[in-house]
Chain A
Amino acid sequence: MLRFILRRLFVTVPMVLVVVSLTWGLIRLAPGNFYTGEKPIPPAIEQNLRQRYGLDRPWYVQYGRMLGSVAAGDFGISLHYIGQPVNGILASALPVSALLGALSYLLALVVGVAAGVLAALRQNSRLDYASMTAAMVGISLPNFVLGPVLVLVFALSWYWLPPARWNGFGINLILPVVTLSAVYMAYVARLARSGMLEVLRSNYIRTARAKGLPERTVLLRHAVRGGLLPVVSFSGPALAFLITGAVVVERIFALPGLGNYFINANLNRDEPLIIGIVAFTSIAVLVFNLLVDVAYAFVDPRVRY
């Protein structure tokens, strides 16, 4: 197991290299530049700008410099947010995204697994139908609809909660966390239910029951572990996405997280910032997926590496 983890961590380095290089190439291919504006700028000023940011150098020099910055873990200075170090931006946006993502994931996991497992244990009961209907509503209501609806009800009609803005850990987070987790909660509930149903019919559960194990032990020690496998494999992408891709929620609730920066960095062709966020998130994706694979081995004894 340890060898497996080390090997995967080792693979991370070339992976990040590939991702960052592809991204760098894409930025070069995209039309427009960070300085493209409403009014075409005079060629002389454009020349000055390119010189100032080293864009007049040959591509391999620029590429090398980019790789160097990634290797050093210092992504340089943003082109759009003039003079601001990318590392500083990441440091300010990451806690916001991490808190938002982690809370949403926890909420989704706790509620989703509970609902899914209970629904599976009492298949076709009222509880099953109710929780699966709720899950369907969660999935069918995109977060750009759910968020504003929640705001309309809780912030603008009843004036219970603030409609937007980041204010650290506090009530400002309630609406965004609920909005962000709703879809995942629903996913998790449905995946958990179907996974559980599958497992409950499997031979090893039958064997466990036949052995005369108490139902509680059968469920908790055997069924839940196997039944949550789809949830676990969904967790890697979900966690990575929750932490890096909460763009819509960040916009609706005006939260200064990574997603907001990332969209704008793309639109602004802000190369150092894009590279910084991509390098960071690709490491995050790889680590989460690794965690998922490790969790697999723990949850499901059938899986071997």
Chain B
Amino acid sequence: MSGTDAPPPIAPASDAPAPDAPVAGTSLWRDARRRLLRNRLAVFGLVVVAIVLTASLVGPAIIEWTTGNTYDSIPADRSRIRALPPFTGVDGRFSWEHPMGTDILGRDILARVLLGGRISLMVGIISTVVSLVIGVAYGATAGYVGGRVDEAMMRVVDVLYAVPYMMIVIVLLALFGGQSPLGQLVLLFVSLGAVSWLTMARIVRGQVLSLKNQEFVLAARATGVRATRIVARHLVPNALGPVVVYATLTIPSVMLLEAFLSFLGLGVQAPLASWGSLAAEGVQNMAVFPWQLICPGATMGITLFSLNFIGDGLRDALDPQMRKS
């Protein structure tokens, strides 16, 4: 990348140090960004994710404008209601109209994949944020405070693991599953958020447990630093490695969980689809219409790949022990 060797860009106002933070705080973030941008894989990941994100935001409109296809347009012409391979017209010859082919109802798969991207990315991002915020805070608190509190907090997590998730969703739907699409979406995020932080909490707790007796924490405590500050400034940053790795692992599993929830009636309603549900449909017809699996699957795979490159880059960039590199 050409920009790699350029001097680090001047921090915009939003990155300016908070009034109480010492100057060193700024260079932490600036350093991190510099290191991230020097990581080629991470930059590559950023570019790919940006492309996928842009494509799913504006792509469907462009497709509709150029070819008239939307994610839910089943052709009025009966002869066109069938699955066409990529780049193939109804006459069997090459055609630009459906670069990813069509599904059995004759719908353009590209349009469906792009629109599905909006949902899957949103699901992935929101659940990751929930798992980061709740899971890290919860796990770090339990691990740092320890003793009875830790015990109680972890038993709550255990209970949440054990209560049948499927029943919870069925009941949530029965109680709040009105017909408004917005309500459905909120319900979906609540349901996904409810489980995505549990394992994260356990992992963070484990890390904090092993870190909290290390010298730098003991030193901080001895000098009278407040507990919240120790957790936030010393423990969490040092536990970031596994946290970032696990967070990037959460995204695919949440995307798949979303596909399962749509089976129960939660999640986006047809004809909308997500990458998970498109892939699930593609699997069924894999031996007949392989492109129905390959197209959404590859898009999803490339995006997840890139997200992981970003995750790895972020971890290396934020790692306080790597500061010197």
Query: Per the CB under 8 Å rule, do A and B touch in the complex?
Result: yes
A165 smallest CB distance to B (angstroms): 19
- Of A64-72, A167-175, A186-194, A212-220, which binds chain B? A186-194
User: Complex: how many Å from CA A253 to CA B175?
Assistant: 35
For B244, give the chain A residue with the smallest CB separation.
Answer: A194
B contact residues, range: 35 or more
Answer whether residue A9 sits at the interface, using C-beta atoms and an 8 A cutoff.
no
**SS class, residues of chain B in contact with chain A:** helix
Chain B residues positioned under 8 Å from A140 (CB to CB): 252, 300-301, 304-305
Are B305 and A29 interface neighbours, CB within 8 A?
A: no
- Of A11, A202, A230, A232, the residue contacting B155 (CB under 8 A) is A11
Answer whether residue B256 sits at the interface, using C-beta atoms and an 8 A cutoff.
yes
Chain A residues positioned under 8 Å from B163 (CB to CB): 19, 22-23, 26, 278
User: Complex: how many Å from CA A39 to CA B138?
Assistant: 48
User: Complex: how many Å from CA A27 to CA B163?
Assistant: 11
Are A278 and B207 interface neighbours, CB within 8 A?
A: no
Answer whether residue A31 sits at the interface, using C-beta atoms and an 8 A cutoff.
yes
Are A229 and B241 interface neighbours, CB within 8 A?
A: no
A263 and B166 contact, Cβ closer than 8 Å, known pairs A139-B304, A144-B283, A152-B286: yes
User: Complex: how many Å from CA A142 to CA B252?
Assistant: 8
Answer whether residue A210 sits at the interface, using C-beta atoms and an 8 A cutoff.
no
Chain A residues positioned under 8 Å from B202 (CB to CB): 233-234, 236-237, 289
B11 smallest CB distance to A (angstroms): 28
Are B308 and A278 interface neighbours, CB within 8 A?
A: no
For window 261-305 of chain A, which residues contact chain B by CB distance below 8 Å? 262-263, 266, 274, 278, 281-282, 285-286, 289, 296, 300, 302-304
Q: Contacts A29-B174, A140-B304 given; 20 further ones with Cβ under 8 A?
A: A22-B163, A23-B167, A26-B164, A26-B167, A26-B170, A145-B283, A145-B293, A191-B246, A195-B242, A198-B321, A202-B321, A229-B210, A230-B203, A233-B203, A266-B170, A282-B158, A285-B158, A286-B162, A302-B210, A303-B210
Answer whether residue B81 sits at the interface, using C-beta atoms and an 8 A cutoff.
no
A191 and B245 contact, Cβ closer than 8 Å, known pairs A229-B206, A229-B210, A266-B167: yes
Are A195 and B210 interface neighbours, CB within 8 A?
A: no
Are B162 and A233 interface neighbours, CB within 8 A?
A: no
A85 smallest CB distance to B (angstroms): 20
User: Complex: how many Å from CA A27 to CA B166?
Assistant: 10
Closest 4 CB pairs of A and B: A282-B162, A233-B206, A140-B304, A26-B167
Answer whether residue B180 sits at the interface, using C-beta atoms and an 8 A cutoff.
no
Residues in chain B within 8 A of chain A (CB atoms): 151, 154-155, 158-159, 161-164, 166-168, 170-171, 174-175, 198-199, 202-203, 205-207, 209-210, 213-215, 241-242, 245-246, 249, 252-253, 256, 276, 279-280, 283, 286-287, 293, 297, 300-301, 304-305, 308, 315, 321-322
User: Complex: how many Å from CA A232 to CA B159?
Assistant: 20
Are A139 and B252 interface neighbours, CB within 8 A?
A: yes
Answer whether residue A106 sits at the interface, using C-beta atoms and an 8 A cutoff.
no
Chain A residues positioned under 8 Å from B286 (CB to CB): 148-149, 152
Are A274 and B305 interface neighbours, CB within 8 A?
A: no
Are A26 and B168 interface neighbours, CB within 8 A?
A: yes
Answer whether residue A3 sits at the interface, using C-beta atoms and an 8 A cutoff.
no
For B166, give the chain A residue with the smallest CB separation.
Answer: A266
Chain A residues positioned under 8 Å from B203 (CB to CB): 230, 233-234
For window 226-262 of chain A, which residues contact chain B by CB distance below 8 Å? 226, 229-230, 232-234, 236-237, 240, 262
B267 smallest CB distance to A (angstroms): 16
Size of A's binding interface in residues, CB under 8 A: 58
Give the residue among B154, B215, B308 with the most A Cβ atoms within 10 A. B308
Answer whether residue A91 sits at the interface, using C-beta atoms and an 8 A cutoff.
no
Are B164 and A142 interface neighbours, CB within 8 A?
A: no
Chain B residues positioned under 8 Å from A236 (CB to CB): 202
Are B242 and A230 interface neighbours, CB within 8 A?
A: yes
Are B241 and A198 interface neighbours, CB within 8 A?
A: yes
Chain A residues positioned under 8 Å from B242 (CB to CB): 191, 194-195, 198, 230
User: Complex: how many Å from CA A201 to CA B319?
Assistant: 11
Answer whether residue A82 sits at the interface, using C-beta atoms and an 8 A cutoff.
no
Are B301 and A141 interface neighbours, CB within 8 A?
A: yes
User: Complex: how many Å from CA A148 to CA B279?
Assistant: 12
Are B279 and A27 interface neighbours, CB within 8 A?
A: no
User: Complex: how many Å from CA A18 to CA B160?
Assistant: 10
Chain A residues positioned under 8 Å from B209 (CB to CB): 296, 303
A190 and B171 contact, Cβ closer than 8 Å, known pairs A141-B301, A285-B162, A296-B206: no
User: Complex: how many Å from CA A239 to CA B242?
Assistant: 19
